[in-house]
Amino acid sequence: MRVIVTGATSFIGRASVKELLKQGCQVTAVVRPDSPGLKALLHQPGIQVAALNLSEIERLPQRLQESPGGKIEERRKDEALNWLHLGWEGAGSANRSNPALQRKNIDYALNALETAADMGCSRFLFSGSQAEYGICTGLMREDMECHPVSEYGKNKVEVCMRAAARAKERNLDYLHARIFSVYGPGDHPWSLVETCLDRFLSGGRMELGPCTQMWNYLYVEDAARALVQLLLGKAPAGVYNVAGEDTRPLRSFIEEIYGLCGRTGSYVYGDRPPNAEGVVSLQPDLTKFKEATGWNARVDFSEGIRRMIKLRRTAFGT
């Protein structure tokens, strides 16, 4: 089995590549030529690197022809080929309301789908987002109507509709994973979990919003395993929520982090402005996903935070 992965050096991408290799897959990693993580993938067993921007993804077959041992025809005739599309420009909160930047990603995703079909892929998994649902007060189910707030969420919904229709025409299974809040080593330094850890462990003060909404966290290794199971398994084409199994008030997660950090530093709930999606409550329904894949989370929140704290203390020699 060979899997083409775009966004292979991203937070979730790195973990997904690691999981694919663990599952015995060969990986073709599509990486921006200027990506800081490109060198780390070079010369790794089982990984073939293609340095391409998302805007030129249709050149992938040609690029593979040019690379040593990378010719498409050299792949075993019985070797399946699938595509994991994790690439998306402007995924950070600051860019999620930028219409021009977000709009480009629709074409990138659809071009990737066409390229996947041209190359003979049988399954294409796109990384959607909980932002597609918009602001909800109850369970978030895959069959409910979406009301996205940010341009990021709106464009992910458009990809879902257009890619699913086109995949049927190209005889390709299209899997749309609505990924919820993922945390773990290697996350963006401005994420809530990373910021809390930095502030608390250094004895600093953390200023927060009210944090009264329901929330859900998924450890990055569990997220990668979920995506790989969805892609490589027999789940039918469709939309699937990918989230953790622990949903509770956001304050509860904050206070757990504080306790695991030794109750150093401080925090205050106040009027910090929300991100581009507004005040969102996350209550994912995992029934469809778990029935289709048999997946279960392995790393609970406290264990995930302990791992992150240990890595920090090891790095700083404390």
**Once rounded to an integer, what is the mean pLDDT over residues 176-205?**
97
What's the alpha-carbon Rg for the chain, to the nearest Å? 20
Say what the pLDDT of residue 101 is. Answer: 77
Predicted confidence (pLDDT) per residue in 71-103, tens digit: 444 555 557 899 999 999 865 555 666 777 778
pLDDT over 50 (residue 154): yes
Say what the pLDDT of residue 99 is. Answer: 74
The residue type found at 169 is: E
Instruction: Give phi and psi for 236, each to the nearest 5.
Output: -70, 160
Contact 11, 91 (CB under 8 A): no
Predicted confidence (pLDDT) per residue in 4-32, tens digit: 999 999 999 999 999 999 999 999 999 99
**Once rounded to an integer, what is the mean pLDDT over residues 188-205?**
96
Q: How far apart are the first and last CA of the chain?
A: 43
pLDDT over 90 (residue 217): yes
Say what the pLDDT of residue 73 is. Answer: 41
**Once rounded to an integer, what is the mean pLDDT over residues 29-56?**
93
Look at strands 205-208 and 238-242 and give their pairing.
Answer: unpaired
**Measured distance CA(16)–CA(96) in Å, rounded:** 23
Mean pLDDT over the full length of the chain = 92
Per-residue buried b or exposed e for 113-131, using 16+ beta carbons within 10 Å of the residue's own CB: bbbbbebebebbbbbbbbb
Range of weakest confidence among 11-15, 32-36, 62-66, 271-275 = 271-275
Please tell me what DSSP assigns to residue 185: T
Is 6 strand, coil or helix?
A: strand
Say what the pLDDT of residue 78 is. Answer: 59
CB atoms within 10 A of CB 100: 8
High-pLDDT (> 90) share of the chain, %: 82
Query: How much is the pTM?
Result: 0.93
Is 277 strand, coil or helix?
A: coil
- Domains, the chain, ordered by start: 2-182+219-242 (3.40.50.720), 185-216+246-277+299-316 (3.90.25.10)
Sign (positive/negative) of CA torsion 235, 236, 237, 238?
negative
Please tell me what DSSP assigns to residue 274: P
Please tell me what DSSP assigns to residue 81: E
Predicted confidence (pLDDT) per residue in 219-230, tens digit: 999 999 999 999
High-pLDDT (> 70) share of the chain, %: 91
Contact 28, 5 (CB under 8 A): yes
